[in-house]
């Protein structure tokens, strides 16, 4: 059973807020989604199948050689951060 409280909890775990009208829309959407999801459960003997997580079987791991390379420069790595101090990204104090 989907409740607004549950949806709020999921949104919180995802680290964003939604307003009341957005939850309203989401609740309505979930009515359809739950019916769609029920279609998955209708499939006979589905529990006997191994879930698929990749489009095809890979028999050989593709690992590259461990060769040192030049990474991004500090300037490049910090270029998109909005607050920078002492060549580091600045955020509010985490530890008191």
Partner 1 sequence: MKQLDLTIEEIRKLLDSGQITSEDLIKDSLDKAHQYQEEYNSFVTILDDAKHEVKGNSVLNGIPYTLKDNISTKGILTTGSSNILSDYVPVYDATIVKKLKDSGAVLVGKTVLDELAMGGSGTTGHTGIVRNPWDKNRLIGGSSAGSAASVALGITPFSIGSDTGDSIRKPAAYGGVVGFKPTYGRISRYGVFAFASSLDNVGCITRSVKDAAYVTDILKGKDERDMTSLPNTDEVYADCLENDIKGKKLFYIKEACNLDNYKDVNDEELTATLNNFYEVIEKCREIGFIVEEVSIDRDLLNALYPAYMCISCAEATSNNANLTGILFGKRGVGNNVDDIIFDARTKGFSEFIKRRFVMGSFVLQKENQERLFLNAGRVRRMIVDKINELFKDYDGLIMPSSDSIAPIIGNKTEQLSDRYLILGNHLVIGNFGGFPSISIPSGFVNGLPVSVNITGRQFEDGLTLNMAYKIESVLGYKGQVAKGDK
Closest CA to 79 of 91, 71, 87: 87
Maximum C-alpha span of the chain:
61
User: Is residue 96 a contact point for partner 1 (CB under 8 A)?
Assistant: no
User: Is residue 87 a contact point for partner 1 (CB under 8 A)?
Assistant: no
Bridge pairing between strands 88-89 and 84-85: antiparallel
Q: Which two tokens stand for residue 32?
A: 């359809």
User: Is residue 37 a contact point for partner 1 (CB under 8 A)?
Assistant: yes
* Binding positions for partner 1, 47-86, rule CB under 8 A: 47, 49-56, 62-64, 72, 76-77, 79-83
d(CA 56, CA 43): 22
User: Is residue 44 a contact point for partner 1 (CB under 8 A)?
Assistant: yes
d(CA 4, CA 20): 9
Residues in touch with partner 1 (CB under 8 A)? 2, 6-7, 10-11, 13-18, 22, 25-26, 29, 32-33, 35-37, 39-44, 46-47, 49-56, 62-64, 72, 76-77, 79-83, 89, 91-92, 94
């Amino acid at each position: 059973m989907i409740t607004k409280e549950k949806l709020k909890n999921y949104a919180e775990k995802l680290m964003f807020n939604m307003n009341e009208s957005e939850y309203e829309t989401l609740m309505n959407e979930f009515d359809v989604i739950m019916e769609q999801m029920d279609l998955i459960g209708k499939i006979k003997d589905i529990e006997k199948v191994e879930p698929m997580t990749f489009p095809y079987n890979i028999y050989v791991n593709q690992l590259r050689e461990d060769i040192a390379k030049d990474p991004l420069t500090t300037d490049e790595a910090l270029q998109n951060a909005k607050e920078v101090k002492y060549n580091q990204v600045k955020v509010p104090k985490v530890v008191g």
